[in-house]
Structure 1
Amino acid sequence: MGELIYLKNVVTLELDREKCIGCSMCLIVCPHAVFGMNNGYAGIENRDACMECGACARNCPTGAVTVHAGVGCATAVINAALGRDGSSYCCMVESQDTSAEKLSMTEGSGRSTCC
């Protein structure tokens, strides 16, 4: 197997500040603390930590967050490197229950157990 190289600045994650209402849903559902709040609105603080799972985009009530889920998903990349069909292992969260009662989160951590 060839050498694996981490590529920076290839994440497709985008945040439209004009659409953001400051609900912090992206912070709650992101398993990698990519987002932070500044002056009541979300911001991308750690773009390279994004695994493009799509949880933020799927849960944003205004569509302020967009990401091409699965493009750089670590699960897909690893499984493809192992000779498996990487597309079938991507970390999509289509059926994830993100209601407040179901999330396990330490306040202010920006991490959840949803993914």
Structure 2
Amino acid sequence: MREMTYLPGVRTLTYDASRCNGCRTCTLVCPQSVFTMEGRQARVHNRDRCMECGACARNCEQQALTVQPGVGCAAYVIQTWIKGKDAACCGDIGCC
């Protein structure tokens, strides 16, 4: 099975390893398995899989993760699938 990526090379996910306490929350909430654990520290395994949903950042109590929604915004992608055409990436879907 081919690995899904969204926008290769687009870097909207930032991770501050010095803030990570090893709680594993990011590995549990990320729907795309972007993170892995190495010992007691989370690591970004494949940044290109990030769909900018923000679940990791919203659930990280240490504020070690941030996600800047934008071109790969999950809300935009989902709305485009639902509507069958390009959706606006702003307003009520809270993307921009």
Say which one has the larger Rg: 1
Gapped runs of 5+ residues in structure 2? Answer: 1-5
Query: TM-score normalized by structure 2?
Result: 0.75
Change (3 A) 1:50 1:83: closer
Shift of residue 49 of structure 1? 0.6
Measured against aligned partners, the alpha-carbon deviations of 1:72-109 in whole angstroms (never above 9, x if no partner) come to 12440462981432334467xxxxxxxxxxxxxxxxxx
Please identify which structure carries the higher helix content.
Answer: 2
Instruction: Report SS of the residue matched to 1:69.
Output: coil
Q: Percent identity?
A: 48
Please identify which structure carries the higher strand content.
Answer: 2
* Count of residue correspondences: 86
Gapped runs of 5+ residues in structure 1? Answer: 1-5, 92-115
Residue aligning to 1:60: 60
Structure 1 residue 40 corresponds to structure 2 residue 40: yes
One-letter amino acid of the structure 1 residue matched with residue 60 of structure 2 = C
Task: Map residues 59-78 of structure 1 onto 2, 5 A cutoff.
Answer: 59-77=59-77
Residue aligning to 1:86: 89
